[in-house]
Amino acid sequence: MSQQVTPVSRVVIRFAGDSGDGMQLAGDRFTAQTALFGNDVSTFPDFPAEIRAPAGTLPGVSAFQVQFADHRVTTPGDAADVLVAMNPAALRVNLPELPRGAQIIVDADEFTPRNLVKAGYPAGVDPLTDDSLADYRLHAVPLTGLTVEALRAFELPRKDAERAKNMFALGLVSWLYHRPTEATVAYLREKFAARPHLAAANVAAFTAGWNFGETTESFAVSHEVPAAPRNPGRHRTITGNRALAYGLIAAADRAGLPLFLGSYPITPASDILHELSRHRQFGVTTFQAEDEIAGIGAALGAAFGGALGVTTTSGPGLALKAETIGLAVSLELPLVIVDVQRGGPSTGLPTKTEQADLLQALYGRNGESPVPVLAASSPGDCFDAAVEAVRIAVTYRTPVVLLSDGYLANGSEPWRVPELDELPTIDPAFATGPNAVDAAGAPCFQPYLRDPHTLARPWAVPGTPGLEHRVGGLEKADRTGEISYDAANHDLMVRTRRAKVDGIARDVPPLTVDDPDASAEVLVLGWGSTAGPIAAACAEVRAAGGSVARAHVRHLDPLPADLGTVLARYRRVLVPEMNLGQLARLLRARYLVDVESLTQVRGMPFKVAELRTAIEKVAADV
Amino acid sequence: MTYVIGANCVDVKDLTCVTECPVDCIFEGDRMLYIHPEQCVDCGACEPVCPVEAIYHVDDLPADWLWHLDAAAEATAGREEVEPVPDPPTVLALPARPANG
Amino acid sequence: MSESRLLTIAGSAADPPLSARDFRSDQEVRWCPGCGDYAILAAVQGFLPELGLRRENIVFVSGIGCSSRFPYYLDTYGMHSIHGRAPAIATGLAVSRPDLSVWVVTGDGDALSIGGNHLIHALRRNVNLKILLFNNRIYGLTKGQYSPTSETGKITKSTPAGSLDHPFNPVSLALGAEAGFVARTIDSDRKHLTSVLRAAAAHEGTALVEIYQNCNIFNDGAFEQLKTPGVRDDFVLRLEHGAPMRYGPDGARTVVRDPGGGLRPGGPDDVAVTHDAQTSDPVPAFALSRLPEAGGPTPIGVFRSVRRPAYDRLVVEQGERALAERGPGSVADLLGGDAWTVPEPQPRVGGGPA
């Protein structure tokens, strides 16, 4: 073989096929191999809302994009270097975003007249033969036929044999980028442990794909991507939803509280319910409720009983939970509400990402109803954000909204496994006895007597003798918690609840400003999942000789105490958001700073290139 | 807790309170009415309908009427269903109300 | 009873017995004078000492409405929550704290209109909750609109020409929702109310108790026939498990099977059907719930009392099984999962499959 090996610094691969083609699995395995090899990696599964749209049609296309490099990567990449298209629909859907010169690997067997028509090509048109792909490096490989041929010895029904073509494709791409294969082989053996025949067949398909790359003339060049420098320590790849579930378990463990999740299935949050339901031995109880309202209601009931109450949802569900969050504000009990945002309004884009629930999380309730709001910034950060949400909820006896989004939920990245002693102390400090004396001088319990520092009220759980008390949604009298319609008391309670949330800012570390030469005049301020694209764009601006500062907000209420000072240091402030400028509006109102809003709502993360262009445009205009 | 009927009822017995009581716990003696202290649910329906302001919550009972609680307990002791009851000696001993002229 | 939930809740044999007075909170009761809720409150306060539980192990959760003020007046733990959601909130509490005795207080609007979904799901799950549904067939707190149990044609502020909705029969609904324990009683009949509370408390799982409750302001006299001495005997059938269903003065009237499959009033010489609350078949209880529609009396008492594992107990057992099979979870192991240790960066090339 005279094949040539060239090193490259970073690669983006997009696996695309029909929903039933196993592209997510192929992408997952490629990611695991790549992370294990030592590249930095970032992924983005992009699947349709329909579980199984009609096979071969455009709405049925499911994709998995992965970027890996010999340096830090923070996004799954703007555009693919390699597109694996398992059918004509996958090619047609993904071609518009594919840069000229990219490699395309297609399953030539699937390019039948019937499939071409299903994908919307005019009758008689075949992109593989009509020269329309001349600007790309096309590899038309009969993946299905080769897979069936490779598995002949297994005597599987043809359908079953064909199903292994995703492993053939994975083998081929693994060869192309010199990926280690042991992990995938081990994975297949474990996954099909109960059916060793199928395990062997899948391994055979995977191996055949690799061998095909090695022997065919079609691929003249293969590539090495050297490992990326990374801090030593234990790592694993993790998705946002799994990291979030782990964060909740770790925080509950840290607090010594049983974890109770009340939840109703909703995309893209359901995987948190699935994950938590597997961990009963950690004292986790999951309750699949009859609706969103019951999900949070049950979590709040459990919180009243002394558990760490959690509910998980997405935007439409958060709307339904609003009244119960208001009750939790009145009860002043710990509660964590996770909103994995998706495109809205209404049912919107269930499988696409957006960060347009910020104002709903902050303000979507009746009355003055302050709730701390946090947002995770990367898949791995979902762990830390969950721990922080629990810390605030328990310490301050308050519902907390934790915002994630569809991109973080399903995207994955290498994550350094934290040591448990790195986690903050979380002390439920349950009330155990009287905290006041009544008019007659006898000890008594006042459920709304506050800690002078945190303004948190005591958490007295049923079963504690002598602390029997009643809570509810009617306005509470200061200290005693009795029903009160008194005007002055209401004014005091409204302001006190707000002050309690404001006071959390004392625990929030100063904003980390990434301003390497301290000379930038432009600050890019983000929140949530835009962190990766913003970091990548700023790196590109700097690499091109530009100067830009970057900061990212995790706490959205209360905002970091020094945010106003930071904003004032820069002549221009650019706030990219996947909404129509919700944080920008808040910053303008709060700090009277003329921040500039950069918005997009296409159901996708920002592209690094478009961010870079926007930053450079602002910088040029300072 | 209970409501108590006091001396103003003696030789009056308007009976509106009896129809008003949702749990039928007001018993009729020869000279006055008695609220069964164990059966009264404290709902207060009887108090405003009394034309002679004879009915008070036990906590608000005028001091010189406190003994009416004991009289009511005595008159209704051991009884469940509403039925005529004999007046206790303390009530029998009260002077007759002068006829309204 | 021997296996009843009561015995599994933190015992208090050594404690001095409590009285009704011990369950009174210091809050001033604020229902309209004459409201049936007073009678129910007095009966509940009188019954609670029978549970033999300490006050701190009892929780009352309510929704919104007149009846939902109930928890404020009981010196136990309590929550006055939001409209319709009490069964959901109580479910979370009961599931995470099976050591508590959890009671729900709700009304016909709260439980059957805005909270209908939570009610039916609590019933089918059989969470260990005792649900007291105060049915006055009217919206009281919002000042007199018709409710989901108001009779068709009800003239109210919101239906000046008469309501058009067909009402729910709460007992029929509960039976359709797979309830294991369903009973009905009347606010002013303290003895009967107490006996039904006793039966509900002894039932493991969800117990639904419909309490006919008079709203003397907006729907006065709704249940007058069932209450008036001398009249009520002709209109009330007092259910007793294992006893023939007879009513009327001196038990002269009977309930018999209808050829159509249901029940109907029979003649004095007919053989009365025997009430079986414990049969697994919900059909007899359902037929009983429709008896007034067939021209018969209104049954009060326990319609159905069938044992089925309580949801919270199943949750506990599942957790114990997981613990036994996997041992206590180690967070460090969970987080570590399939982690690898990052090697020092060095050029490396992957090899082919073995």
pLDDT digits (tens, 9 = 90+) for A363-385: 999 999 999 999 999 999 999 99
Q: Is the per-residue pLDDT at C3 higher than 50?
A: no
Q: Alpha-carbon distance A77 to A536, whole Å?
A: 10
Determine which of C48, C83, C93, C106 to mutate to test the interface with A (most A C-beta atoms within 10 Å).
C93
How does pLDDT run across C54-100, given as a tens digit for each residue?
999 999 999 999 999 999 999 999 999 999 999 999 999 999 999 99
Buried b (16+ CB within 10 A) or exposed e, C51-67: bebbbbbbbbbbbbbbb
Give the pLDDT of residue C10. 47
Other beta carbons less than 10 A from residue A78's beta carbon: 20
Other beta carbons less than 10 A from residue A446's beta carbon: 21
Q: How confident is the model at residue C343 (pLDDT cuts 50, 70, 90)?
A: low
- C66 part of contact set with chain B, CB < 8 Å: no
How does pLDDT run across A109-143, given as a tens digit for each residue?
999 999 999 999 999 999 999 999 999 999 999 99
Cβ B22–C214 below 8 Å, yes or no? yes
The bridge status of strand C253-257 relative to strand C181-186 is unpaired
Partners of chain C (3+ Cβ pairs below 8 A):
A, B
Q: What is the mean pLDDT of residues A37-41?
A: 91
Instruction: Single out the residue of A157, A159, A154, A155 nearest to residue A207, CA to CA.
Output: A154
Closest residue in C to B3 (Cα) is: C33
Name the least confident of A135-144, A250-259, C12-21, C143-152: C12-21
How does pLDDT run across C220-261, given as a tens digit for each residue?
999 999 999 889 999 999 999 999 999 999 899 999 999 988
User: Could you check whether the bond before residue A345 is cis, i.e. omega within 30 degrees of 0?
Assistant: yes
Give the pLDDT of residue A217. 82
Cβ A224–C344 below 8 Å, yes or no? no
Q: How far apart are the first and last CA of chain B?
A: 38
Strands in A572-577's sheet, in edge-to-edge order, are A513-514, A549-553, A522-527, A572-577, A596-599
Give the pLDDT of residue B58. 95
Give the pLDDT of residue A394. 98
Q: Which residues of chain B have pLDDT under 70?
A: 99-101
- Judged by DSSP in three states, C207 sits in strand
Closest Cβ opposite residue C322 in set A234, A280, A466: A280
Cβ A471–C79 below 8 Å, yes or no? yes
Q: How far apart are the first and last CA of chain A?
A: 56
Q: How confident is the model at residue A2 (pLDDT cuts 50, 70, 90)?
A: very low
Q: Is the per-residue pLDDT at C13 higher than 60?
A: no
Express as a percent the part of chain C with pLDDT over 90: 88
Q: Measured between CA atoms, how close is A281 to chain C, in angstroms?
A: 5
Which residues does B contribute to its contact with C (CB < 8 Å)? 1, 20-24, 39-45, 47-48, 80-82
Give the pLDDT of residue A231. 77
Q: Is the per-residue pLDDT at C14 higher than 80?
A: no
Q: How confident is the model at residue C350 (pLDDT cuts 50, 70, 90)?
A: very low
Give the pLDDT of residue B1. 83
Q: Is the per-residue pLDDT at C155 higher than 80?
A: yes
Instruction: Single out the residue of C122, C100, C97 nearest to residue C111, CA to CA.
Output: C122
- A467 part of contact set with chain C, CB < 8 Å: yes
Other beta carbons less than 10 A from residue B91's beta carbon: 22
Closest residue in C to B21 (Cα) is: C34
Give the pLDDT of residue C346. 52
Q: Which residues, 6+ apart, have CB-to-CB distance to A288 below 8 Å?
A: A263, A264, A265, A273
Closest residue in B to C32 (Cα) is: B43
Express as a percent the part of chain A with pLDDT over 70: 100
Other beta carbons less than 10 A from residue C283's beta carbon: 11
CA distances from C185 to B25, B49, C56, C190, C205 (A): 19, 28, 27, 9, 19
pTM of the model: 0.93
Give the pLDDT of residue C352. 46
Determine which of C19, C45, C47, C190 to mutate to test the interface with B (most B C-beta atoms within 10 Å).
C190
Q: Measured between CA atoms, how close is B15 to chain C, in angstroms?
A: 16
Output the DSSP codes for C12-23: -TTSPPP-GGGG
Residues of C with Cβ-Cβ distance to A1 under 8 angstroms: none
Residues of A with Cβ-Cβ distance to C85 under 8 angstroms: 293-294, 297, 324
Answer yes or no: are the C-beta atoms of A21 and A86 closer than 8 Å: yes
Instruction: Single out the residue of A287, A397, A272 nearest to residue A332, CA to CA.
Output: A397
Q: Is the per-residue pLDDT at A5 higher than 50?
A: yes
Cβ B41–C214 below 8 Å, yes or no? no
Q: What is the mean pLDDT of residues A605-609?
A: 95
Cα R_g (chain C), whole angstroms = 25
- A282 part of contact set with chain C, CB < 8 Å: yes
Q: What is the mean pLDDT of residues A481-510?
A: 97
Q: Residue C322 is which amino acid?
A: A
- A309 part of contact set with chain C, CB < 8 Å: yes
Closest residue in C to A205 (Cα) is: C353
User: Could you check whether the bond before residue A558 is cis, i.e. omega within 30 degrees of 0?
Assistant: yes
Closest residue in A to C99 (Cα) is: A463
Closest Cβ opposite residue C38 in set B43, B48, B81: B43
How does pLDDT run across C236-246, given as a tens digit for each residue?
999 999 999 99
Residues in C 19-48 with any Cβ partner in B closer than 8 A: 24, 29, 31, 33-36, 38-39, 41-43
Give the pLDDT of residue B26. 97
Q: What is the mean pLDDT of residues A281-292?
A: 98
Q: Which residues, 6+ apart, have CB-to-CB distance to A19 below 8 Å?
A: A47, A48, A50, A51, A52, A53, A60, A61, A62
Cα-Cα-Cα-Cα dihedral sign, residues C311, C315, C318, C320: negative
Closest residue in A to C73 (Cα) is: A470
Q: Cα A105 vs. chain centroid, distance in angstroms?
A: 29
Give the pLDDT of residue B100. 55
- Judged by DSSP in three states, C227 sits in helix
Q: Alpha-carbon distance C343 to A59, whole Å?
A: 42
Q: Is the per-residue pLDDT at C8 higher than 50?
A: no
